Structure 1
Amino acid sequence: MSNKLYEKMNLYLANQEVNYLKLLNLHWYVKGRSFFTLHSRLEELYGHTASVIDSVAERLLALGESPVANMQSALNAATIKERSDTPISSDETVELLITDIRYWINDTQEIVRLAEEAGDGVTADQFNDYLGEYQKLLWMLESYVS
């Protein structure tokens, strides 16, 4: 297997851990005419993110690797940034989500490629599932603002 793949998976995990808190932040601080719609959707998104975190960590463990499992390590490793504890408009929330989902699509595609190069079809399949979910979510968010 590929150390580069494991490192990328752990970075993905750290970013997802930061993303989980970012989604909670948006869930709590979103304001505006789309509050009810976004508040509920953000709850679904952070629930999904918690599932991704667990699945990626368990996949790393199954491969004999050590997942990032504390917030300080996640923050030190993460390339995505938290957001401040301030209100955010509905429109800004959707735009931020679109930007973030585009990031997740690119990051997920890279892991699929690394997994395929390493001959790890199980990991490639796992991340292809995430990729399909992110592509669908991007389509839905872009349709929401069109």
Structure 2
Amino acid sequence: MSKKLYEKMNLYLANQEVAYIKLHNLHWYVKGRSFFTLHAKLEELYDRTAEIIDAVAERLLAVGQAPVANMKEALALATIKELADKPISSEETVQGLIADVEYWIRDTKEIVELADAAGDGVTADQFNDYLGEYQKLLWMLKSYIA
């Protein structure tokens, strides 16, 4: 595994770890007419994020690398920002999710390209699967507010 790919995957992992907490924040603080729908969807999203965290960390370990596994280091690395503990409207929640998913699509594509360049088809396949999930989620979120 190239150093650049390893570093990018660890950044991705740190961002997923922060996103996991951010999704809980939204789950607890979302308000508005779409509360029930979004509350359930956010739980689905943070459960999936937990699976991605585990799979990315295990992939790093499988190729002899060390995954970021503590919040202090994750917060130091992450580019995803946490949210304040305060109510957030349904509309703001969906707009924020769209922005985050657009970020995940760009970030995931970059890892696929790095993995392909490094000849790491297994990592490329893993992240291509995430890319398909994020693209579908983006379509659904945009359709939800259309």
TM-score past 0.5 threshold = yes
**1:79 maps to amino acid:** T
- Determine if the alignment matches structure 1 residue 36 to structure 2 residue 36: yes
C-alpha separation in 2, matches of 1:11 and 1:61: 15
1:26-75 deviations in whole A, cap 9, x for unaligned?
A: 00000000000000000000000000000000000001000000000000
1:9-31 deviations in whole A, cap 9, x for unaligned?
A: 00000000000000000000000
1:102-145 deviations in whole A, cap 9, x for unaligned?
A: 00000000000000000000000000000000000000000001
Structure 1 segments of 4+ aligned residues over 6 angstroms from their partners: none
Percent pairwise identity: 76
1:64-107 deviations in whole A, cap 9, x for unaligned?
A: 00000000000000011001000000000000000000000000
C-alpha separation in 2, matches of 1:96 and 1:9: 23
Q: How many residues align?
A: 146
Match of 2:48 in 1: 48
Match of 1:21 in 2: 21
- Determine if the alignment matches structure 1 residue 4 to structure 2 residue 4: yes
Task: Map 1:1-146; keep pairs closer than 5 Å.
Answer: 1-146=1-146
> Helix, strand or coil for the counterpart of 2:41?
helix
Q: Which runs of 5+ in 1 are unaligned?
A: none
TM-score (norm 1): 1.00
Q: Which runs of 5+ in 2 are unaligned?
A: none
TM-score (norm 2): 1.00
